[in-house]
Structure 1
């Protein structure tokens, strides 16, 4: 696909393919299930999505499928698309101009915290950095009903991360890197919470007021990390792991 699409689209393809490879590297994939998507600039409302029959570790920039708002392929493709799997993503993309990238995962730690009555607790610095930007959506069954999109959008509001109750985690960003850094922090916070709660009842809670301070610091620092620090480093890591993703 390189040279057959615009330079802007190709860069988005490389970033998204890198995100798929990194998700697989960190063990956050769920066989072929869940998705990450990115909006292609322009009036057509087209998006890039993973082929439904590839493992995340197999995704490349060229294999990503260009879909419309219904999740249907725009161009002929040898790969399988999954319109039903685009339900959550399309809801967020269509309602938020700033939500250029959407990541949705089903990790065990994310699902465990999503099933916890109190959701994400302010037990660690990582949790406190993202907790103020976290929304919740109640489980309604496998997300194939397009009517659910309105409720997902209403629950997300202006937040940039979400716990889908009894289901998993979600993040959005103006770039793939921004969405990835958000999901990284959220997943690490969920993992730490499960580990802390399993260690016994002697939990040290932060002093009053500090979760709010950390939330403000997280909102300010995340975009900087995504744009200039962590995401460029993660891209270098993706190339070291397997540069084939960028083909």
Structure 2
């Protein structure tokens, strides 16, 4: 009888444990599974690619960071606060139009589709290296980027906090450099390719014109100064002659 009671008790305990484990599994699935499911719904052809999944998870993380009220949409006020507090824009009005356009509420799907249509998404490894050198101004990490063959599609992964990627893989140990890289990548993901240091012929022309005007101005000032000195010297000579003539007239009157 005691054995039957013990067996029954063990069975009940096992059933309770199994039920608890099952409930926990259902109610708290791994976050990556949710991301894959959502990616497959949004972008089914690419939802089995490992790099795409990681980039989509980064986009979800960026959206969550911007969505203060966690309602699934990023509105204009949330964007304004994010730009001022996280990206340190003093006047973010110009960025609103490029981010929101005609859509006042940005979902994860909207953010993902905008990112995939961005010029940066199709950047080559060389273009990413140029971005790292010219815009981020951290050329010392180009070797790590080249080894990992980072192209434009991985940019969202650089825009979120990921110590494994930045420190372990890219060997960026300086925290200020990590933060700078993250902010620059975040700005690039949200607002597209930055101007960087592209060759601008108009700018070169204006620079040459400015130099010519500067040299011309200096030459004109030199000529004017020289003319003024000669004119002043002539005036002094004339005044001396006039004074001598007046003195001669005074002496003649005295006689």
TM class, shorter-chain normalised? under 0.3
Bigger-Rg structure (1/2): 2
TM-score (norm 1): 0.26
Counting helix residues as a fraction of each chain, which structure ranks higher?
2
Counting strand residues as a fraction of each chain, which structure ranks higher?
1
